Amino acid sequence: MKYGSLVLERKDYRVLKKYLKHNLYIEDYSHKDALDTLEDNLKTALILEEKDMPDDTIGFNSMVTVSSISKFEYTFQLVSPLNNDPKNGKVSVTSTMGSLVIGKSEDDIINYGPPADSVSLKISKVGNLKLEKVEV
């Protein structure tokens, strides 16, 4: 990881903790795995104030582009579970992809998919937008 650990803005960290505490509906095993990943990552994350956040770190409302060595590229906006709309490029932070990228930065690598079939994806671009209030 570029910064040695995940880097989260304090208010994003608080919202994520609330999501984990109040998430009573588990869709399937992959959703449970995503929530477990998110919970594990929060334990070691570096928590910063908004003014101290690096520009290339992924938080709520960030526009994220991931790419593979085979030239696959996917761009999405990381949003709250209430605004999840993958068909329109809005991916929930509690989804598998969302839980893997939150707190990471440009040039970090994620492994997406089940262990036997995972693919390495590079976070190739991060654009931070602070357009909407994050809802719990």
Spell out the domains of the chain, with CATH numbers in brackets.
Answer: 7-127 (3.10.50.30)
Rounded CA Rg of the chain = 14
**Cβ-Cβ contacts under 8 Å for 86 (sequence gap 6 or more):** 76, 95
Reading the block at residue 43, the tokens are 């334990």
**Cβ-Cβ contacts under 8 Å for 130 (sequence gap 6 or more):** 61
**Is the model's pLDDT at 24 over the cut of 80?**
no
Check residue 23 and give its pLDDT: 66
pLDDT tens-digit map of 74-129 = 999 999 989 999 999 999 998 889 999 999 999 999 999 877 888 999 999 999 86
